[in-house]
């Protein structure tokens, strides 16, 4: 009876302290309530949850400031590095090894229909390469997200899901840089690996590469290339590669996390450990103001844009013009542009419902015309055997046919309350073009 009265009295004083906005007193009384091990009242439970969220937000703010400071320091140090522009054209293309091509096609379970060489089905992955990548990624994500509450992570997840309903998410939303890493990093790297493989197979991959990745995100275009280079080495192709990777991405936290994880990924004598990263967190839409065009003239062998094509019409028109100017000014004379866009998004941008081969060719041509480019080739890479959407029974198809994201799938199911496992899925267009 005496304990009940004490507990009631503490709760009464706590409520009055909150009403009087005496937060110091309320905090001290709440600490006494916690020590008593008595059940919390509704008000006390709400207070506890509020304090936890405030604490977690403070951690996130401090971490954000720390990461941004590091990005700023990296940018400052990179100003001391001079990029040497080669004035002579040297043909240093990597010779295609038919055995490596056969191996990768076998690993990825590559198929295509006779007479339709643009539609390529891949239901497998390069297991040795991606198992190692995914294992390290899962460890990295688990460690980073352990500091945050599930509710905060889910909130970022719902913001990111806007992209599936035809909206552009707020990529500065708290924790979205980690959720994006969970949701899209592996699939995008998988697609990037295949893009570089197709470029290699068409004899257009060089041993000395200068790459500009526009709207780079976490750098999945580099991770995919690193995976392919690792495959070369594992299969005995010891051609040394020198990669100069310039990542242009407004969201500095995406860049910092991409570079952070890269250090862990290449830690075990990875053949791509000598890649030179150059980080640029300039705002794409300030291209004409901020002198992003201080980039070297006619320098890059490849300028790539992967999945950064806006839903918003005004943003798309502006960004397309900026992309066009970047290509014209900074692509080497014999360089290539690589565009990767999701199948459903490409057709939606042109308000097209039909998924026929004939209409596809027309849309691809219209798409590259919007950047004043000339088509070299394009490939539709897909996990399913058909151009049309497989909305019905896709999960069943994925379970039976597609590679499981062994380490990431349990994390996603736990954080996002998903019922189905996550598999490696493709539904993209890979487009190679020139000016």
* Two structure tokens written together for 396: 């069943």
Strand-pair category, 242-248 with 208-214:
parallel
Beta strands in 249-292 (DSSP E): 276-280
For domain 96-434, give the CATH number: 3.40.50.150
Please list the residue range(s) of the chain that carry CATH number 3.40.50.150: 96-434
The candidate with the shortest Cα–Cα distance to 258, out of 243, 277, 244, is 277
HSE-CB for 172 with a 13 A CA cutoff: 8
Provide CB contacts within 8 A for 174, sequence distance 6+: 57, 60, 152, 155, 156
Digits of tens for pLDDT over the chain (435 positions)? Answer: 456 556 666 677 777 777 777 777 877 776 776 666 566 666 666 666 666 656 555 555 555 555 555 555 544 444 333 333 332 334 688 999 999 999 999 998 988 766 678 999 999 999 999 999 999 999 999 999 999 999 999 999 999 998 888 888 898 899 999 999 999 999 999 999 999 999 999 999 999 999 999 999 999 999 999 999 999 999 998 778 889 999 999 898 999 999 999 999 988 778 877 788 888 888 888 887 765 557 889 999 999 999 989 888 888 899 999 999 999 999 999 999 999 999 988 988 888 777 788 899 999 999 999 999 999 999 999 999 888 777 668 888 999 999 999 999 999 999 999 988 999 999 999 999 999
How would you label 247-277 residue by residue, b for 16+ Cβ within 10 Å and e otherwise?
Answer: bbbbbbbbbbbbbebbeebbeeebbbeebeb
HSE-CB for 248 with a 13 A CA cutoff: 25
How far, in whole angstroms, is CA 180 from its chain's centroid? 6
| Integer Cα distance of 325 and 435 in angstroms | 11
So what's the pLDDT on residue 86? 33
So what's the pLDDT on residue 351? 82
């Amino acid at each position: 009876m005496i304990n009940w009265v004490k507990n009631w009295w503490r709760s009464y004083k706590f409520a009055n302290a909150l009403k009087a906005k005496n937060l110091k007193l309320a905090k001290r009384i709440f600490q006494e309530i916690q020590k008593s091990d008595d059940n919390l009242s509704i008000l006390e439970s709400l207070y506890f949850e509020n304090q936890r969220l405030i604490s977690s937000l403070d951690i996130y703010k401090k971490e954000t400031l720390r990461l941004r400071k590091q990005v700023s320091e990296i940018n400052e140090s990179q100003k001391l590095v001079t990029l040497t522009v080669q004035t002579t054209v040297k043909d240093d293309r990597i010779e295609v090894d038919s055995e490596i091509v056969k191996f990768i096609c076998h690993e990825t379970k590559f198929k295509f229909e006779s007479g339709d060489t643009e539609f390529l089905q891949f239901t497998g992955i390069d297991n040795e390469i991606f198992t190692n990548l995914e294992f390290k990624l899962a460890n990295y994500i688990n460690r980073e997200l352990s500091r945050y509450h599930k509710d905060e992570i889910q909130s970022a997840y719902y913001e990111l899901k806007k992209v599936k309903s035809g909206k552009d998410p707020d990529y500065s939303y708290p924790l979205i840089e980690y959720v994006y890493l969970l949701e899209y990093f592996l699939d995008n790297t998988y697609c990037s690996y295949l893009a570089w493989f197709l470029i290699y197979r068409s004899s257009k991959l060089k041993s000395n590469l200068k790459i500009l990745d526009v709207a780079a995100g976490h750098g999945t275009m580099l991770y995919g290339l690193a995976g392919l280079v690792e495959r070369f080495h594992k299969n005995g192709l010891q051609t040394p590669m020198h990669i100069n990777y310039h990542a242009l991405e407004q969201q500095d936290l995406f860049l910092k996390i991409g570079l952070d994880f890269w250090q862990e990924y290449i830690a075990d004598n990875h053949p791509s450990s000598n890649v030179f990263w150059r980080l640029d967190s300039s705002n794409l839409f300030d291209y004409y103001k901020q002198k992003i065009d201080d980039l070297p003239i006619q320098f890059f062998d490849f300028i790539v844009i992967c999945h950064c094509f806006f839903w918003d019409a005004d943003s798309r028109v502006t960004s397309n013009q900026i992309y066009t100017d970047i290509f014209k000014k900074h692509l080497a004379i014999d360089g290539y542009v690589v565009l990767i866009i999701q199948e459903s998004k490409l057709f939606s941008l042109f308000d097209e419902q039909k998924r026929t081969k004939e209409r596809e060719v027309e849309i691809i041509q219209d798409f590259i015309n919007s950047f004043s480019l000339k088509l070299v080739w394009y490939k539709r890479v897909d996990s399913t055997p058909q151009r049309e959407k497989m909305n019905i029974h896709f999960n069943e198809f994925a379970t039976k046919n597609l590679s499981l994201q062994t380490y990431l799938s349990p994390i996603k199911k736990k954080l996002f309350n998903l019922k189905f496992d996550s598999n490696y899925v493709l539904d993209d267009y890979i487009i190679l073009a020139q000016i």
